[in-house]
Structure 1
Amino acid sequence: MTSITSHHPARLRRSVLSVPAINPRALEKTHGLSCDAVIFDLEDSVAVEKKAEARENLRRFFAETPLRGRESIIRVNGIDTEFFSDDMAAVIACRPDAVLLPKVDGPDDVQRVADLIAETDATESLRIWAMIETPRGVLNAAAIAGAGRTAGGLLDCFVVGLNDLRKETGVAPETGRIYLVPFLMQVILAARAYGLDAIDSVSNEFRQLDAYEAECAQGRAMGFDGKMLIHPAQIDGANRHFGFSEAALAEAKAIAAAFADPATDGLNVINLDGRMVERLHLEQAERLLAKARVIAEREGRTA
Protein backbone atom coordinates (compact mmCIF):
# COMPACT_ATOMS: atom_id res chain seq x y z
CA MET A 1 0.00 0.00 0.00
CA THR A 2 1.32 3.47 -0.86
CA SER A 3 2.08 5.54 2.21
CA ILE A 4 0.27 8.78 2.91
CA THR A 5 3.57 10.64 3.15
CA SER A 6 4.49 9.72 -0.41
CA HIS A 7 1.83 12.15 -1.64
CA HIS A 8 3.08 15.03 0.50
CA PRO A 9 5.44 17.35 -1.43
CA ALA A 10 8.83 17.92 0.15
CA ARG A 11 9.08 21.48 1.39
CA LEU A 12 11.92 23.26 3.13
CA ARG A 13 10.80 24.28 6.62
CA ARG A 14 13.95 24.14 8.74
CA SER A 15 13.54 27.67 10.10
CA VAL A 16 10.11 29.29 10.48
CA LEU A 17 10.45 32.82 11.82
CA SER A 18 7.53 34.58 13.51
CA VAL A 19 7.35 38.32 12.86
CA PRO A 20 4.84 40.76 14.45
CA ALA A 21 2.59 42.19 11.75
CA ILE A 22 2.41 45.44 13.72
CA ASN A 23 6.11 46.16 13.07
CA PRO A 24 6.70 47.46 9.49
CA ARG A 25 10.48 47.53 10.00
CA ALA A 26 10.51 43.87 11.00
CA LEU A 27 8.37 43.02 7.99
CA GLU A 28 10.83 44.67 5.61
CA LYS A 29 13.78 42.92 7.24
CA THR A 30 12.37 39.51 6.30
CA HIS A 31 13.58 40.02 2.72
CA GLY A 32 17.21 39.77 3.80
CA LEU A 33 16.91 36.79 6.14
CA SER A 34 17.88 33.19 5.38
CA CYS A 35 14.89 31.54 7.07
CA ASP A 36 12.80 29.08 5.05
CA ALA A 37 9.42 30.51 6.02
CA VAL A 38 7.93 33.52 7.77
CA ILE A 39 4.87 33.60 9.98
CA PHE A 40 3.34 37.08 9.90
CA ASP A 41 1.64 37.24 13.27
CA LEU A 42 -1.69 38.91 13.95
CA GLU A 43 -2.28 37.10 17.23
CA ASP A 44 -0.15 37.11 20.41
CA SER A 45 2.37 39.76 19.38
CA VAL A 46 -0.29 42.34 18.46
CA ALA A 47 -2.19 44.29 21.11
CA VAL A 48 -5.98 44.41 20.85
CA GLU A 49 -6.05 48.09 19.90
CA LYS A 50 -3.46 47.45 17.14
CA LYS A 51 -5.15 44.55 15.32
CA ALA A 52 -6.63 46.65 12.52
CA GLU A 53 -3.33 48.47 11.95
CA ALA A 54 -1.47 45.16 11.78
CA ARG A 55 -3.86 43.85 9.13
CA GLU A 56 -3.32 46.97 7.05
CA ASN A 57 0.43 46.53 7.38
CA LEU A 58 0.12 43.07 5.90
CA ARG A 59 -2.16 44.17 3.08
CA ARG A 60 0.40 46.80 2.12
CA PHE A 61 3.38 44.46 2.50
CA PHE A 62 1.89 41.69 0.34
CA ALA A 63 0.70 44.16 -2.29
CA GLU A 64 3.96 46.12 -2.56
CA THR A 65 6.85 43.90 -1.41
CA PRO A 66 5.72 40.26 -1.07
CA LEU A 67 8.14 37.64 0.18
CA ARG A 68 9.91 35.75 -2.61
CA GLY A 69 11.46 32.30 -2.61
CA ARG A 70 10.16 31.30 0.82
CA GLU A 71 6.84 30.33 2.32
CA SER A 72 4.67 33.05 3.82
CA ILE A 73 2.14 32.22 6.53
CA ILE A 74 -0.28 34.52 8.35
CA ARG A 75 -1.24 33.58 11.89
CA VAL A 76 -4.76 34.77 12.62
CA ASN A 77 -6.52 35.19 15.93
CA GLY A 78 -8.61 32.32 17.24
CA ILE A 79 -11.85 31.25 15.59
CA ASP A 80 -13.79 32.20 18.72
CA THR A 81 -12.45 35.78 18.83
CA GLU A 82 -13.96 38.98 17.49
CA PHE A 83 -10.93 39.46 15.25
CA PHE A 84 -11.13 36.21 13.30
CA SER A 85 -13.45 37.30 10.47
CA ASP A 86 -11.43 40.42 9.67
CA ASP A 87 -8.20 38.42 9.93
CA MET A 88 -9.46 35.87 7.41
CA ALA A 89 -10.55 38.65 5.06
CA ALA A 90 -6.99 39.98 5.21
CA VAL A 91 -5.60 36.49 4.54
CA ILE A 92 -7.79 36.07 1.46
CA ALA A 93 -6.71 39.51 0.23
CA CYS A 94 -2.99 38.93 0.87
CA ARG A 95 -2.83 35.38 -0.52
CA PRO A 96 0.00 33.95 1.57
CA ASP A 97 0.98 30.31 1.16
CA ALA A 98 -0.86 29.33 4.33
CA VAL A 99 -3.00 30.51 7.22
CA LEU A 100 -1.92 29.41 10.71
CA LEU A 101 -4.74 28.70 13.16
CA PRO A 102 -3.86 29.12 16.85
CA LYS A 103 -5.03 26.86 19.68
CA VAL A 104 -6.66 24.24 17.48
CA ASP A 105 -8.62 21.95 19.82
CA GLY A 106 -10.30 19.60 17.35
CA PRO A 107 -11.04 18.79 13.69
CA ASP A 108 -14.02 21.14 13.52
CA ASP A 109 -11.66 24.13 13.71
CA VAL A 110 -9.85 22.99 10.57
CA GLN A 111 -13.06 22.14 8.75
CA ARG A 112 -14.57 25.54 9.48
CA VAL A 113 -11.61 27.37 7.97
CA ALA A 114 -11.51 24.99 5.00
CA ASP A 115 -15.17 25.80 4.36
CA LEU A 116 -14.40 29.53 4.45
CA ILE A 117 -11.55 29.10 1.98
CA ALA A 118 -13.76 26.98 -0.29
CA GLU A 119 -16.10 29.93 -0.66
CA THR A 120 -13.29 31.96 -2.26
CA ASP A 121 -10.97 31.49 -5.23
CA ALA A 122 -7.99 30.83 -2.91
CA THR A 123 -8.56 27.07 -2.66
CA GLU A 124 -5.79 26.22 -5.12
CA SER A 125 -3.09 28.26 -3.40
CA LEU A 126 -3.92 28.65 0.31
CA ARG A 127 -3.10 25.87 2.75
CA ILE A 128 -3.88 25.49 6.46
CA TRP A 129 -1.38 25.13 9.30
CA ALA A 130 -2.61 24.24 12.78
CA MET A 131 -1.02 25.15 16.11
CA ILE A 132 -1.23 22.35 18.66
CA GLU A 133 -0.85 24.17 21.97
CA THR A 134 -3.66 23.05 24.26
CA PRO A 135 -4.31 19.80 26.15
CA ARG A 136 -7.32 19.09 23.91
CA GLY A 137 -5.23 19.80 20.84
CA VAL A 138 -2.62 17.23 21.87
CA LEU A 139 -5.26 14.63 22.78
CA ASN A 140 -7.06 15.24 19.45
CA ALA A 141 -3.93 15.53 17.30
CA ALA A 142 -4.72 12.41 15.26
CA ALA A 143 -8.32 13.51 14.65
CA ILE A 144 -7.13 16.98 13.64
CA ALA A 145 -4.55 15.52 11.26
CA GLY A 146 -7.18 13.21 9.79
CA ALA A 147 -9.46 16.19 9.21
CA GLY A 148 -7.08 17.26 6.49
CA ARG A 149 -8.59 14.60 4.22
CA THR A 150 -12.15 15.81 4.75
CA ALA A 151 -11.12 19.47 4.57
CA GLY A 152 -10.18 19.39 0.91
CA GLY A 153 -6.63 18.28 1.65
CA LEU A 154 -5.78 21.82 2.75
CA LEU A 155 -4.22 20.92 6.11
CA ASP A 156 -0.48 20.88 5.58
CA CYS A 157 1.48 21.34 8.80
CA PHE A 158 1.37 21.20 12.60
CA VAL A 159 3.19 23.78 14.73
CA VAL A 160 3.67 23.00 18.41
CA GLY A 161 3.13 25.82 20.92
CA LEU A 162 4.68 24.89 24.25
CA ASN A 163 4.25 28.21 26.07
CA ASP A 164 0.48 27.86 26.15
CA LEU A 165 0.69 24.11 26.73
CA ARG A 166 2.96 24.63 29.74
CA LYS A 167 0.57 27.21 31.13
CA GLU A 168 -2.48 24.98 30.76
CA THR A 169 -0.85 21.80 32.05
CA GLY A 170 1.36 23.25 34.78
CA VAL A 171 4.46 21.54 33.37
CA ALA A 172 7.57 23.39 34.54
CA PRO A 173 9.99 24.79 31.90
CA GLU A 174 12.70 22.21 32.69
CA THR A 175 15.89 22.04 30.62
CA GLY A 176 15.56 19.27 28.08
CA ARG A 177 11.73 19.46 28.07
CA ILE A 178 11.72 16.03 29.75
CA TYR A 179 8.07 16.14 30.86
CA LEU A 180 6.91 17.55 27.52
CA VAL A 181 8.48 14.87 25.32
CA PRO A 182 5.39 12.58 25.43
CA PHE A 183 3.21 15.45 24.18
CA LEU A 184 5.69 16.31 21.42
CA MET A 185 5.97 12.73 20.22
CA GLN A 186 2.18 12.39 20.13
CA VAL A 187 2.00 15.34 17.76
CA ILE A 188 4.78 13.91 15.59
CA LEU A 189 3.03 10.54 15.38
CA ALA A 190 -0.27 12.13 14.33
CA ALA A 191 1.43 14.31 11.73
CA ARG A 192 3.32 11.41 10.18
CA ALA A 193 0.24 9.18 10.13
CA TYR A 194 -1.47 11.67 7.81
CA GLY A 195 1.45 13.02 5.80
CA LEU A 196 1.82 16.39 7.53
CA ASP A 197 4.97 18.31 8.39
CA ALA A 198 5.57 19.19 12.03
CA ILE A 199 7.38 22.27 13.35
CA ASP A 200 8.88 22.30 16.84
CA SER A 201 7.94 25.01 19.34
CA VAL A 202 9.77 28.28 19.84
CA SER A 203 12.69 28.50 22.23
CA ASN A 204 12.32 31.59 24.41
CA GLU A 205 16.06 31.75 25.22
CA PHE A 206 17.24 33.44 22.04
CA ARG A 207 20.22 34.98 23.84
CA GLN A 208 21.40 31.61 25.19
CA LEU A 209 22.27 29.96 21.91
CA ASP A 210 23.90 26.88 23.47
CA ALA A 211 20.63 25.89 25.12
CA TYR A 212 18.79 26.73 21.93
CA GLU A 213 21.11 24.57 19.82
CA ALA A 214 20.56 21.65 22.20
CA GLU A 215 16.80 22.08 21.78
CA CYS A 216 17.19 22.11 17.99
CA ALA A 217 19.19 18.87 18.14
CA GLN A 218 16.51 17.31 20.33
CA GLY A 219 13.73 18.41 17.97
CA ARG A 220 15.54 16.96 14.98
CA ALA A 221 16.07 13.67 16.82
CA MET A 222 12.33 13.54 17.59
CA GLY A 223 11.54 13.87 13.89
CA PHE A 224 10.44 17.50 13.56
CA ASP A 225 10.94 19.14 10.16
CA GLY A 226 12.02 22.48 11.58
CA LYS A 227 11.58 24.97 14.38
CA MET A 228 9.46 28.04 14.94
CA LEU A 229 11.70 31.00 15.76
CA ILE A 230 11.22 34.32 17.53
CA HIS A 231 14.54 36.01 16.64
CA PRO A 232 16.76 36.14 13.53
CA ALA A 233 19.75 35.02 15.65
CA GLN A 234 18.12 31.58 15.79
CA ILE A 235 17.96 31.05 12.02
CA ASP A 236 21.43 29.64 11.41
CA GLY A 237 21.11 27.06 14.19
CA ALA A 238 17.77 25.81 12.90
CA ASN A 239 19.02 25.61 9.32
CA ARG A 240 22.03 23.61 10.44
CA HIS A 241 20.28 21.16 12.77
CA PHE A 242 17.23 20.55 10.58
CA GLY A 243 19.23 20.53 7.36
CA PHE A 244 21.46 17.82 5.95
CA SER A 245 25.17 17.19 5.51
CA GLU A 246 27.11 16.90 2.26
CA ALA A 247 27.55 13.21 3.05
CA ALA A 248 23.78 12.74 3.34
CA LEU A 249 23.28 14.60 0.05
CA ALA A 250 25.87 12.43 -1.69
CA GLU A 251 24.20 9.28 -0.37
CA ALA A 252 20.80 10.46 -1.57
CA LYS A 253 22.21 11.08 -5.04
CA ALA A 254 23.76 7.60 -5.07
CA ILE A 255 20.48 5.96 -4.06
CA ALA A 256 18.52 7.89 -6.70
CA ALA A 257 21.07 7.02 -9.38
CA ALA A 258 21.05 3.34 -8.44
CA PHE A 259 17.28 3.04 -8.73
CA ALA A 260 17.35 5.02 -11.99
CA ASP A 261 19.51 2.28 -13.54
CA PRO A 262 17.35 0.18 -15.91
CA ALA A 263 18.87 -2.92 -14.29
CA THR A 264 16.88 -2.19 -11.11
CA ASP A 265 13.49 -2.02 -12.82
CA GLY A 266 10.97 -3.97 -10.81
CA LEU A 267 13.30 -4.42 -7.84
CA ASN A 268 12.20 -3.26 -4.38
CA VAL A 269 15.57 -3.98 -2.78
CA ILE A 270 19.02 -3.49 -4.30
CA ASN A 271 22.63 -3.91 -3.27
CA LEU A 272 24.37 -0.53 -3.06
CA ASP A 273 28.05 -0.68 -2.15
CA GLY A 274 27.60 -3.71 0.05
CA ARG A 275 24.37 -2.76 1.83
CA MET A 276 20.74 -3.42 1.12
CA VAL A 277 18.68 -0.40 0.08
CA GLU A 278 14.88 -0.45 -0.26
CA ARG A 279 12.53 1.73 -2.27
CA LEU A 280 11.45 3.43 0.94
CA HIS A 281 15.01 4.75 1.10
CA LEU A 282 14.56 6.04 -2.45
CA GLU A 283 11.49 8.00 -1.32
CA GLN A 284 13.52 9.54 1.52
CA ALA A 285 16.38 10.32 -0.86
CA GLU A 286 14.08 12.02 -3.35
CA ARG A 287 12.61 14.23 -0.62
CA LEU A 288 16.09 15.25 0.51
CA LEU A 289 17.13 16.00 -3.08
CA ALA A 290 14.00 18.10 -3.59
CA LYS A 291 14.90 20.17 -0.53
CA ALA A 292 18.47 20.54 -1.79
CA ARG A 293 17.13 21.90 -5.08
CA VAL A 294 15.08 24.52 -3.22
CA ILE A 295 18.18 25.70 -1.36
CA ALA A 296 20.24 25.75 -4.55
CA GLU A 297 17.62 27.76 -6.44
CA ARG A 298 17.46 30.27 -3.60
CA GLU A 299 21.25 30.63 -3.67
CA GLY A 300 21.39 30.79 -7.48
CA ARG A 301 23.38 27.61 -8.00
CA THR A 302 22.89 24.04 -9.25
CA ALA A 303 22.11 21.32 -6.68
Structure 2
Amino acid sequence: MITARLAPRTALFLPASNPRAIEKARELPADLVILDLEDAVKDADKAQARLAAVAAVAEGFGSRLAAIRLNGIGSGEYPEDVAAVASSAADFAVLPKAEGAAEVAQVARALGKPLLAMIETPLGVLAAAAIAAVPGVAGLIAGTNDLAATLRLPPSSGRAQMSVALQTIVLAARAGRVWALDGVFNRLDDAEGLAAECREGRALGFDGKSLIHPGQLAIAARAFGPSEAEIADARALIAAATGGAERYEGRMIEAMHVDQARALLERAADRTTTEHFGA
Protein backbone atom coordinates (compact mmCIF):
# COMPACT_ATOMS: atom_id res chain seq x y z
CA MET A 1 0.00 0.00 0.00
CA ILE A 2 1.33 3.43 -0.97
CA THR A 3 1.07 6.43 1.31
CA ALA A 4 1.53 10.07 0.41
CA ARG A 5 0.44 13.53 1.37
CA LEU A 6 -2.63 15.33 0.16
CA ALA A 7 -2.73 15.53 -3.63
CA PRO A 8 -0.63 18.41 -4.99
CA ARG A 9 -2.46 21.46 -6.22
CA THR A 10 0.56 22.38 -8.33
CA ALA A 11 2.93 20.04 -10.19
CA LEU A 12 5.70 21.94 -11.95
CA PHE A 13 7.54 20.31 -14.87
CA LEU A 14 11.20 21.36 -15.25
CA PRO A 15 13.82 20.16 -17.74
CA ALA A 16 16.32 18.06 -15.81
CA SER A 17 18.95 19.50 -18.14
CA ASN A 18 18.47 23.03 -16.76
CA PRO A 19 20.47 23.46 -13.51
CA ARG A 20 19.33 27.05 -12.98
CA ALA A 21 15.65 26.05 -13.13
CA ILE A 22 16.29 23.17 -10.70
CA GLU A 23 18.05 25.43 -8.20
CA LYS A 24 15.28 28.03 -8.44
CA ALA A 25 12.66 25.34 -7.86
CA ARG A 26 14.02 24.78 -4.35
CA GLU A 27 12.52 28.15 -3.39
CA LEU A 28 9.30 28.01 -5.41
CA PRO A 29 5.90 27.34 -3.79
CA ALA A 30 5.26 24.21 -5.84
CA ASP A 31 3.68 21.18 -4.18
CA LEU A 32 5.39 18.78 -6.58
CA VAL A 33 8.48 19.31 -8.75
CA ILE A 34 8.74 17.00 -11.77
CA LEU A 35 12.21 16.79 -13.31
CA ASP A 36 11.69 15.89 -16.94
CA LEU A 37 13.94 13.51 -18.86
CA GLU A 38 11.55 13.22 -21.79
CA ASP A 39 10.11 15.92 -24.08
CA ALA A 40 11.86 18.91 -22.49
CA VAL A 41 15.36 17.45 -22.99
CA LYS A 42 17.27 17.24 -26.27
CA ASP A 43 18.45 13.79 -27.28
CA ALA A 44 22.08 14.83 -26.92
CA ASP A 45 21.46 15.93 -23.33
CA LYS A 46 19.51 12.88 -22.08
CA ALA A 47 22.35 11.12 -20.27
CA GLN A 48 23.52 14.26 -18.49
CA ALA A 49 19.93 15.15 -17.59
CA ARG A 50 19.49 11.75 -15.98
CA LEU A 51 22.54 12.27 -13.79
CA ALA A 52 21.40 15.79 -12.92
CA ALA A 53 17.91 14.60 -11.93
CA VAL A 54 19.26 11.90 -9.64
CA ALA A 55 21.64 14.40 -8.01
CA ALA A 56 18.86 16.97 -7.61
CA VAL A 57 16.46 14.64 -5.80
CA ALA A 58 19.31 13.43 -3.60
CA GLU A 59 19.83 17.02 -2.47
CA GLY A 60 16.09 17.39 -2.01
CA PHE A 61 13.54 20.17 -2.46
CA GLY A 62 12.70 20.90 1.14
CA SER A 63 9.06 20.14 1.90
CA ARG A 64 8.25 19.79 -1.80
CA LEU A 65 7.62 16.40 -3.31
CA ALA A 66 9.97 15.49 -6.16
CA ALA A 67 9.40 13.26 -9.17
CA ILE A 68 11.35 12.28 -12.27
CA ARG A 69 9.62 11.74 -15.60
CA LEU A 70 11.07 8.84 -17.56
CA ASN A 71 11.47 8.59 -21.28
CA GLY A 72 8.76 6.44 -22.78
CA ILE A 73 8.65 2.66 -22.88
CA GLY A 74 10.45 1.50 -25.99
CA SER A 75 12.78 4.49 -26.16
CA GLY A 76 16.50 3.93 -26.09
CA GLU A 77 16.81 5.86 -22.84
CA TYR A 78 14.06 4.00 -20.99
CA PRO A 79 16.11 1.10 -19.48
CA GLU A 80 18.74 3.45 -18.04
CA ASP A 81 16.03 5.83 -16.81
CA VAL A 82 14.30 3.04 -14.90
CA ALA A 83 17.54 1.85 -13.31
CA ALA A 84 18.53 5.39 -12.30
CA VAL A 85 15.13 6.46 -10.96
CA ALA A 86 14.57 3.19 -9.09
CA SER A 87 17.70 3.77 -7.02
CA SER A 88 17.14 7.52 -6.66
CA ALA A 89 15.64 9.53 -3.79
CA ALA A 90 12.69 10.67 -5.93
CA ASP A 91 9.33 10.48 -4.17
CA PHE A 92 7.60 9.51 -7.42
CA ALA A 93 8.32 8.45 -10.97
CA VAL A 94 6.25 9.73 -13.88
CA LEU A 95 5.53 7.46 -16.85
CA PRO A 96 4.56 9.17 -20.12
CA LYS A 97 1.97 7.73 -22.49
CA ALA A 98 0.67 4.98 -20.24
CA GLU A 99 -1.62 2.79 -22.34
CA GLY A 100 -2.14 -0.52 -20.59
CA ALA A 101 -2.38 -1.89 -17.08
CA ALA A 102 0.03 -4.77 -17.72
CA GLU A 103 2.90 -2.57 -18.91
CA VAL A 104 2.25 -0.03 -16.17
CA ALA A 105 2.37 -2.81 -13.57
CA GLN A 106 5.69 -3.96 -14.99
CA VAL A 107 7.10 -0.43 -14.75
CA ALA A 108 5.81 0.01 -11.19
CA ARG A 109 7.45 -3.24 -10.10
CA ALA A 110 10.74 -2.30 -11.72
CA LEU A 111 10.79 1.13 -10.11
CA GLY A 112 9.67 0.10 -6.64
CA LYS A 113 8.32 3.59 -5.92
CA PRO A 114 4.98 5.38 -6.41
CA LEU A 115 4.14 5.97 -10.06
CA LEU A 116 2.22 8.79 -11.69
CA ALA A 117 0.87 7.59 -15.04
CA MET A 118 0.31 10.11 -17.82
CA ILE A 119 -2.83 9.54 -19.89
CA GLU A 120 -2.02 11.03 -23.29
CA THR A 121 -3.62 8.82 -25.94
CA PRO A 122 -7.01 7.29 -26.77
CA LEU A 123 -5.71 3.88 -25.64
CA GLY A 124 -4.62 5.43 -22.37
CA VAL A 125 -8.01 7.01 -21.79
CA LEU A 126 -9.82 3.75 -22.47
CA ALA A 127 -7.46 1.89 -20.11
CA ALA A 128 -7.38 4.61 -17.44
CA ALA A 129 -9.52 2.76 -14.89
CA ALA A 130 -7.36 -0.37 -15.15
CA ILE A 131 -4.19 1.71 -14.92
CA ALA A 132 -5.42 3.53 -11.81
CA ALA A 133 -6.11 0.17 -10.16
CA VAL A 134 -2.54 -1.10 -10.64
CA PRO A 135 -0.71 -1.54 -7.31
CA GLY A 136 1.98 1.12 -7.17
CA VAL A 137 0.10 3.74 -9.17
CA ALA A 138 -0.39 6.87 -7.07
CA GLY A 139 -2.07 9.11 -9.62
CA LEU A 140 -3.06 9.92 -13.17
CA ILE A 141 -1.90 13.02 -15.05
CA ALA A 142 -3.85 14.22 -18.08
CA GLY A 143 -1.40 14.82 -20.92
CA THR A 144 -3.61 17.24 -22.78
CA ASN A 145 -1.15 18.30 -25.50
CA ASP A 146 -0.53 14.77 -26.74
CA LEU A 147 -4.14 13.84 -26.12
CA ALA A 148 -5.35 16.63 -28.41
CA ALA A 149 -2.88 15.50 -31.08
CA THR A 150 -3.74 11.81 -30.86
CA LEU A 151 -7.46 12.60 -30.93
CA ARG A 152 -6.73 14.55 -34.14
CA LEU A 153 -8.39 17.67 -32.85
CA PRO A 154 -7.97 20.78 -35.05
CA PRO A 155 -5.55 23.39 -33.65
CA SER A 156 -8.50 25.69 -33.05
CA SER A 157 -10.20 23.18 -30.76
CA GLY A 158 -10.60 23.94 -27.10
CA ARG A 159 -10.96 21.90 -23.95
CA ALA A 160 -14.61 21.19 -24.64
CA GLN A 161 -13.61 18.76 -27.36
CA MET A 162 -11.64 16.74 -24.77
CA SER A 163 -14.27 16.86 -22.05
CA VAL A 164 -15.21 13.17 -22.27
CA ALA A 165 -11.55 12.12 -22.08
CA LEU A 166 -10.83 14.45 -19.15
CA GLN A 167 -13.86 13.30 -17.19
CA THR A 168 -12.91 9.68 -17.89
CA ILE A 169 -9.48 10.30 -16.35
CA VAL A 170 -11.08 11.79 -13.24
CA LEU A 171 -13.58 8.92 -12.99
CA ALA A 172 -10.75 6.40 -13.27
CA ALA A 173 -8.71 8.16 -10.60
CA ARG A 174 -11.65 8.32 -8.21
CA ALA A 175 -12.49 4.64 -8.79
CA GLY A 176 -8.86 3.72 -8.09
CA ARG A 177 -8.56 6.13 -5.15
CA VAL A 178 -5.55 7.87 -6.67
CA TRP A 179 -4.69 11.47 -7.55
CA ALA A 180 -6.02 13.18 -10.68
CA LEU A 181 -3.89 16.03 -12.07
CA ASP A 182 -5.02 18.20 -14.94
CA GLY A 183 -2.90 18.91 -18.01
CA VAL A 184 -0.64 21.89 -18.72
CA PHE A 185 -1.68 25.32 -19.99
CA ASN A 186 0.54 26.44 -22.85
CA ARG A 187 -0.15 30.18 -23.11
CA LEU A 188 2.39 31.60 -20.67
CA ASP A 189 1.19 35.22 -20.87
CA ASP A 190 -2.53 34.47 -20.49
CA ALA A 191 -3.16 34.63 -16.76
CA GLU A 192 -6.92 34.92 -17.17
CA GLY A 193 -7.01 31.91 -19.47
CA LEU A 194 -4.99 29.88 -16.98
CA ALA A 195 -7.27 30.86 -14.11
CA ALA A 196 -10.34 29.91 -16.13
CA GLU A 197 -8.87 26.53 -17.09
CA CYS A 198 -7.90 25.85 -13.46
CA ARG A 199 -11.45 26.63 -12.32
CA GLU A 200 -12.78 24.32 -14.99
CA GLY A 201 -10.34 21.59 -13.96
CA ARG A 202 -11.38 21.81 -10.33
CA ALA A 203 -15.04 21.75 -11.36
CA LEU A 204 -14.35 18.53 -13.29
CA GLY A 205 -12.89 17.00 -10.13
CA PHE A 206 -9.12 17.27 -10.70
CA ASP A 207 -7.04 17.63 -7.54
CA GLY A 208 -4.48 19.96 -9.06
CA LYS A 209 -2.77 21.04 -12.26
CA SER A 210 0.49 20.27 -13.98
CA LEU A 211 2.37 23.44 -14.95
CA ILE A 212 5.25 24.47 -17.18
CA HIS A 213 6.30 27.85 -15.75
CA PRO A 214 6.86 29.20 -12.22
CA GLY A 215 4.64 32.17 -13.04
CA GLN A 216 1.66 29.81 -13.18
CA LEU A 217 2.03 28.49 -9.63
CA ALA A 218 0.13 31.12 -7.65
CA ILE A 219 -2.88 31.11 -9.95
CA ALA A 220 -3.19 27.33 -9.93
CA ALA A 221 -2.70 27.08 -6.15
CA ARG A 222 -5.51 29.57 -5.55
CA ALA A 223 -7.86 27.89 -7.99
CA PHE A 224 -7.37 24.38 -6.58
CA GLY A 225 -7.57 25.50 -2.97
CA PRO A 226 -10.92 26.26 -1.28
CA SER A 227 -12.05 29.87 -1.18
CA GLU A 228 -12.66 31.76 2.07
CA ALA A 229 -16.40 31.45 1.46
CA GLU A 230 -16.09 27.69 1.05
CA ILE A 231 -14.03 27.43 4.23
CA ALA A 232 -16.54 29.47 6.22
CA ASP A 233 -19.45 27.39 4.90
CA ALA A 234 -17.66 24.12 5.72
CA ARG A 235 -17.00 25.21 9.29
CA ALA A 236 -20.59 26.33 9.77
CA LEU A 237 -21.94 23.11 8.29
CA ILE A 238 -19.85 20.94 10.61
CA ALA A 239 -20.90 23.00 13.60
CA ALA A 240 -24.59 22.79 12.68
CA ALA A 241 -24.70 19.06 11.86
CA THR A 242 -26.24 16.86 14.55
CA GLY A 243 -26.39 13.55 12.68
CA GLY A 244 -28.64 12.02 10.05
CA ALA A 245 -30.40 13.94 7.29
CA GLU A 246 -31.32 17.48 8.25
CA ARG A 247 -31.99 20.94 6.84
CA TYR A 248 -29.10 23.40 6.74
CA GLU A 249 -29.18 26.83 5.09
CA GLY A 250 -32.05 25.80 2.84
CA ARG A 251 -30.56 22.50 1.73
CA MET A 252 -30.54 18.95 2.97
CA ILE A 253 -27.29 17.63 4.45
CA GLU A 254 -26.21 14.29 5.86
CA ALA A 255 -23.00 12.55 6.96
CA MET A 256 -21.56 12.62 3.42
CA HIS A 257 -21.68 16.43 3.37
CA VAL A 258 -19.98 16.63 6.75
CA ASP A 259 -17.20 14.38 5.46
CA GLN A 260 -16.82 16.62 2.39
CA ALA A 261 -16.62 19.70 4.61
CA ARG A 262 -13.92 18.14 6.77
CA ALA A 263 -11.93 17.15 3.69
CA LEU A 264 -12.19 20.72 2.40
CA LEU A 265 -10.88 22.12 5.69
CA GLU A 266 -8.01 19.64 5.65
CA ARG A 267 -7.17 20.81 2.14
CA ALA A 268 -7.35 24.42 3.26
CA ALA A 269 -4.97 23.78 6.13
CA ASP A 270 -2.58 22.13 3.65
CA ARG A 271 -1.47 19.77 6.37
CA THR A 272 0.46 16.55 5.86
CA THR A 273 -1.86 13.60 5.96
CA THR A 274 -1.95 10.00 4.80
CA GLU A 275 -3.92 8.80 1.81
CA HIS A 276 -4.01 5.29 0.42
CA PHE A 277 -3.54 4.44 -3.23
CA GLY A 278 -4.36 1.20 -4.93
CA ALA A 279 -5.05 -2.04 -3.18
TM-score normalised by L of structure 2: 0.88
RMSD over aligned CA atoms reads 2.4
Aligned counterpart for 1:247 among listed residues 198, 205, 229: 229
Do the aligned partners of residues 272 and 131 (structure 1) sit closer, same or farther apart at CA in structure 2, a change above 3 Å counting? same
Could you tell me which residue of structure 1 aligns to residue 263 of structure 2?
Answer: 287
Which whole-Å CA distance do the structure 1 matches of 2:97 and 2:234 have between them?
Answer: 37
Seq. identity, %:
42
1:166 maps onto 2:148 in alignment? yes
2:58 partner letter: A
| Superimposed CA distance per residue, residues 4-36 of structure 1 (whole angstroms, 9 cap, x where no aligned partner) | xxx987614211110110001100111121122
Task: Indicate how the Cα distance of structure 1 residues 271 and 99 shifts in structure 2: closer, same or farther if over 3 A, else same.
Answer: same
Give the secondary structure class of the aligned counterpart of 1:17. strand
2:43 maps to what in 1? 48
Match of 2:119 among 122, 132, 138: 132
Gaps of 5+ in 2: 274-279
Alpha-carbon contact 2:211-2:217 (below 8 Å) kept: yes
The residue that corresponds to 2:22 in the other structure is: 27
**What does 1:171-250 align with in structure 2 at a 5 Å threshold?**
171-174=153-156, 176-250=158-232
The aligned counterpart of 2:63 is 69
The answer for unaligned runs of 5 or more in structure 1 is 1-6, 119-125, 298-303
Aligned to 2:107: 113
Secondary structure at the aligned position of 1:239 is classed as helix
CA shift, 1:295, in A, is: 6.0
Q: Distance in 2 between matches of 1:96 and 1:145?
A: 20
- Report the Cα offset of residue 71 of structure 1: 1.8
Q: SS of 1:180's equivalent?
A: helix
Residue in structure 2 matched with residue 300 of structure 1 by the alignment: none
1-side partners of 2:206 and 2:155: how far apart? 20
Amino acid in the other structure paired with 1:231: H
In 2, Cα distance between the equivalents of 1:245 and 1:68?
26
TM-score, length-normalised on structure 1? 0.82
Match of 1:82, SS state, is: coil
Amino acid at match of 2:184: V
1: distance between equivalents of 2:245 and 2:114? Answer: 36
Matched length? 272
Q: Do the aligned partners of 1:258 and 1:272 also contact (CA within 8 Å) in 2?
A: yes
Give the distance between the partners of 1:272 and 1:9, measured in 2 at CA: 34
1:199 partner amino acid: L
Residues 211 and 27 from structure 1, CA distance in 2 versus in 1: closer, same or farther, beyond 3 angstroms? Answer: same
Whether contact under 8 Å (1:37, 1:70) holds in the other structure is yes
The one-letter amino acid paired with 2:210 is: M
Q: Which has the higher contact order (CA 8 A, sep 6+)?
A: 2
